[in-house]
Chain A
Amino acid sequence: MAERASDDRALAALAHGTREDRERALETLHERHKDEVHGFLARLLRDPSLADDALQETFLQLYRSFDRFEPGQPFRPWIFKIARNAALKTLRTRKKEENLATKARPKSGRNVVETTATNESRERAREALEALPDETRALLLQRHVLDMKLEDLAESFAVTERTIRNRLHAAAEAFAATFFGTRTGEPRGD
């Protein structure tokens, strides 16, 4: 609660303060949230060095979008929205570059081996999670790793809670399909 109030103060300074106030406020917010945001980015990007850049981009974007801040708006959904967008942008760029580089090479097929041992099926589950589309992974990360409430997720994705529920159901279905190797296309967003 105290942290929330102090976040609010920092955000108010970010929105209305002088330049020095705004820098100080950004530093406070950065200090408090950097590790969580970085962990999220690293998981989503699967690459710590890319995560460092995305972290920087996230806070710079926060600094720039101060005028869009509305008082009373919770901070976590907002910062993770910015972080998610920064990461997805990086992933899109990278994918484009990779596509250009590997255009000539044929795609390698994925073989699913039937196994029964628990640790192997745990490995398979992990692979299935990693194989999900980036947007879906971001949603699952925000839900499970960051423990965000449905309400906050709805705020962060700028949709209703019902839509978030639907997306989570779709994500679970996509996961199961990947797990059993029956997935054909991209799952629908909502």
Chain B
Amino acid sequence: METSCQEATALLLERTLSVLEDDARVRLDEHLRICEACRERAPAIDGALEDWKSAATEKPAPADSWERIRAHLGDDPASQVRVVLVCTWCKGGLERNEAAYCATCLAPCHADCFATHGRCPAPGCEETRVVQPRTLARPRPAQPRPPRRVGWFVAALVLGTGVAVAALAPPPHPRRELPVPSPLGKTNGASVPACLRVSPSSIHLPEEPSERSFVMEKLRRAVEDRVTNFLSETRYRDHAFSVFADSDGTIAVAIDPPLDESPLDRLRDDLGVRGDLRCHFVKEDASGPGIDRFERGTDKVFHLQPETALANEDVERAYETMSSSGTRAIGLKLTAEGGARFHETTRGNLGRKLAILIDGQVVSTPVIRSANGEELVIEGRFTEEDVHALVGALSPKDRYPLWVWVQRETPGVFREAPVSNTDAGPGSLSGRVFLKAHVERPAPVAVAKDHEVCGAVYRDESLVVAEDGALANVVVYLRGVPTPTTWDRRGTYRIDQKECRFTPRILLVPEGEKVTIGNSDPICHDVKSNCVANPIFNELVSAGRALTRTFAKAEFVRLGCAVHPFMGGTIVVMEHPWYAVTSASGAFTLPDIPPGTYQVMAWHETLGKAVKRGTTVTITPGARASLDIAF
């Protein structure tokens, strides 16, 4: 295509701005070779831009610029932030010390306005009781703090809607006495329905027993008020709770029925306490002592070194940030001392995985690429809510006078993982998969082209059920099992396209192994992949040719053909060897499973998962477990 002088001029400007694409560069060079006018225009355009540049630097800012700005800082509304309260009933101004708040919705009112109206004036609120804030007496702080912090603390008490303490009326929340939670450090008994433990760091607690119990009681009440408010403001108002203070400096919150992780995070943030942060390196082999921890939200287990590489006291500040790839991440600013120590530790461990645990659960396992002593960015699959909650959980708080953190011991939320023990020999699991639900069988498909290869009518094999209901092509696997260190992945992994069918229909491939996708038909196929963790592709494979691909991450990769839309296949990329595909008789066998308790999953390409979170199966050493699964 001929390039006009006008186009060439545009390209000349792009070249000066260094945004010229490669193909455009070729076109420009071609044009400049034949067009003298454009060759002469090139320096003119550069010159015009240079004039622009030099003119811009000629004019410095006026000398009085700062004085002018400063003079206006006073009118800036942001520098005079003052929250004004207005009575919800009479709309008149309200001084903080005379404000009364609705016990349910915390709408502010004059106390006599509330009395005149008889109930809360906020629309939709029928509450007849009010609460009024009172400043909690501060326990004596162990260290003198700068006056600003005191200001913050008082401000937080007055401004924070939740700290309004019931003074005129009994607390609005129904109370039910719950059993006393077990003390920290002892094994958690089943008697505690749910439990947050607030344990003030001992260095800030007074040594003298009576003084100590006084401080603890104050803290206990503060925690109780917060929990009351939290539960009554949220949809958990029917939950019963108890708050206990132990002489060992622990405050335990028992909530029944137990809360899930996310509301617990919010409550913890509300309580102004800090999550327990630990970082350990992930062990590369099974030898020597180690600890096992679950990943947050999944059943994946990590084997970690027992030494702590980083903990709460090394973190100065936590903040929300973005990772280099643009995903949500949590940034930690380290203290000088903690940073130096972390730098020292990581320098010797470059290229290894560091597991970051919050409250005993692994949230992220980044690979340490460089030793950095100032900041640590935690990347993970976080939702926005997660990031808020975790940043809240990790930020040092000054809302409460005591430095506290929470240890979560809720059964079901945090569990010790089974410690891997393979001494007694592996077990195995076998069984059959059946279709019990009534599912319409797929109808044969009329073929529009390539009849001679695909046949005039195509038999859809996306659901293959035997006469007795046995279901073929179901992937049965163990959920959340880490990749074993000894795993012989060698093998030939080939999926063929023959008579317009992927053969086998389901191929199991270990992570990182080469897969050949062949075409034995005398016609073209266009293989397209549908996956998330691995790169997608869409490539033409002509007759007798093949293409090879490597899938780095465990995932179910669905295959299709753009030419023949009725074709379908699946490549299952496995992170561990305990995967099996059911045969035509619906049978499967998972051999050599280390003893332990597992979640067994069953997946079918059109029916999905048999049980959403899997079926629990315990494998005992050397024994054969059996399991029948029904869809």
**Residues of chain B lying within 8 A (CB to CB) of residue A169:** 10, 14, 19
| Selected contact of B52 from candidates A30, A126, A182, CB within 8 Å | A126
Bound Cα distance from A119 to B321, whole angstroms:
50
- Best-surrounded residue of A67, A126, A172 (most CB of chain B within 10 A): A172
A34 touches B72 (CB 8 A): no
Q: State the interface size on chain A (CB cutoff 8 A).
A: 59
Identify the stretch in B59-67, B165-173, B428-436, B623-631 within 8 Å (CB) of chain A at 4 or more residues.
B59-67
Specify the chain B residue showing the minimal Cβ separation from A53: B68
**Residues of chain B lying within 8 A (CB to CB) of residue A179:** 6, 9
**Residues of chain B lying within 8 A (CB to CB) of residue A171:** 13
A145 touches B78 (CB 8 A): no
| Selected contact of B56 from candidates A42, A64, A67, A119, CB within 8 Å | A42
- Any B CB within 8 A of the CB of A11: no
Identify the stretch in B36-44, B195-203, B500-508, B514-522 within 8 Å (CB) of chain A at 4 or more residues.
B36-44
- Any B CB within 8 A of the CB of A72: yes
A125 touches B47 (CB 8 A): yes
Specify the chain B residue showing the minimal Cβ separation from A49: B62
Bound Cα distance from A143 to B20, whole angstroms:
13
**Main SS at interface, chain A:** helix
B9 touches A168 (CB 8 A): no
Specify the chain A residue showing the minimal Cβ separation from B148: A18
A30 touches B65 (CB 8 A): yes
**Residues of chain A lying within 8 A (CB to CB) of residue B68:** 52, 56
Q: Interface size for chain B: under 10, 10 to 19, 20 to 34, or 35 or more residues?
A: 35 or more
**With known contacts A72-B321, A125-B44, A180–B56 Cβ distance under 8 A:** no
Q: Mark B134-159, 1 if CB is under 8 A from A, else 0.
A: 00000000000000100000000000
- Any B CB within 8 A of the CB of A122: yes
**Residues of chain A lying within 8 A (CB to CB) of residue B47:** 122, 125
B65 touches A55 (CB 8 A): yes
**Residues of chain B lying within 8 A (CB to CB) of residue A141:** 52, 56
A19 touches B320 (CB 8 A): no
| Selected contact of A40 from candidates B17, B44, B56, B70, CB within 8 Å | B56
A-binding residues in B (CB < 8 A):
5-7, 9-11, 13-14, 16-17, 19, 37, 40-41, 43-45, 47-49, 51-53, 55-62, 65-66, 68-70, 72-73, 76-79, 148, 319-322, 331
Extra contacts besides A123-B48, A145-B53 (4): CB < 8 Å: A23-B70, A39-B56, A71-B321, A177-B6
19 cross-chain CB contacts under 8 A: A39-B60, A52-B68, A56-B68, A60-B76, A63-B76, A63-B78, A64-B78, A72-B321, A116-B40, A118-B43, A121-B41, A125-B47, A140-B17, A143-B17, A144-B16, A144-B49, A150-B19, A176-B10, A176-B13
Q: Which 9 A-B pairs have the closest CB atoms?
A: A125-B48, A38-B61, A176-B10, A176-B9, A34-B61, A172-B10, A122-B44, A39-B56, A121-B44
